[in-house]
Amino acid sequence: MAITSLAVFCGSKEGNNPLFCEHAKELGYLLAQKNITLIYGGSNKGIMGAVANGVLEKGGRVIGVIPKLLNGIEHSHAGISEMHETEDMHERKKMLYAKADAALVLPGGYGTMDELFEMLTWNQLNIHDKKIFILNSAGFYNHLIAHFKMMEQENFLYKKITEQLTIISSPQELILI
């Protein structure tokens, strides 16, 4: 199945490594060039803002989904193609998943982890079968990937981790898959 829309889960903060935002912006450029709609959390801050701005700079389409609770905190992006405001985080995640053909996780905090684990769980339970990617910028997810492998080795997973996740090191690898 061709990917025409991609949910991107990432931080509303930039983090300490400039590569995180550089990769986010590069990803945005690639999505716009490939005519893939960005579906994301709706913020104009941090890594979220970087990926959205990258798409917009190249004339691409961006759909944001932000809950009322975060509208003031995450500073919703006024310049995107389409913005949806939800009642709560659960509705936000459900809408993000529904609008996207696949998902990509960039560096982020608790919210990003929540979104990743929910997507993995939904895949495992056959609620959906969307492809999930992790962009492991500067090895940000090395420890988590090692833990996934431990979970697999200890027989806590129903599928091999490589059947559920595709790990990439640069935005360009996503487009090639």
List pLDDT tens digits, range 43-56: 999 999 999 999 99
H helical segments located in the chain? 18-33, 46-57, 68-71, 89-99, 110-124, 142-153, 161-164, 171-176
**What global pTM score does this model have?**
0.94
Give the CATH fold of the 5-103+121-137+158-171 domain.
Rossmann fold (3.40.50)
| pLDDT at residue 177 in the model | 55
Q: Where are the domains of the chain?
A: 5-103+121-137+158-171
| Greatest Cα-to-Cα distance within the chain, rounded to the nearest angstrom | 47
Whether the predicted pLDDT of 176 surpasses 70: no
The whole-number average pLDDT for the span 124-141 is 94
For residues 108 and 37, what is the distance between their CA atoms, to the nearest angstrom?
Answer: 21
pLDDT given at position 72:
66
